[in-house]
Amino acid sequence: QDDCSEFRSQFEAGGRLSCTRENDPVRDASGKQHTNKCLMCAEKFKKEAQRGGQSGGTGQRNRLPTSERTNQ
For the domain that residue 28 is a member of, what is the CATH number? 3.30.60.30
CA–CA dist 26, 4 (Å, integer): 12
Q: What pTM did the predictor assign?
A: 0.63
Q: What are phi and psi of 27, to 5 degrees?
A: -110, 145
Q: From CA 30, how far away is CA 35, in angstroms rounded?
A: 15
Does residue 29 fall inside a structural domain? yes
Percent of the chain exceeding pLDDT 70 equals: 65
Mean pLDDT of all residues belonging to the chain: 75
Q: How far apart are CA 20 and CA 55, in angstroms?
A: 20
Task: State which residues form the domain around 15.
Answer: 4-52
Other Cβ atoms within 10 Å of 52 Cβ, number: 16
pLDDT over 60 (residue 72): no
Asked if the structure places residue 32 within a domain, the reply is: yes
pLDDT tens-digit series, residues 13-42: 666 788 988 999 999 989 999 999 999 999
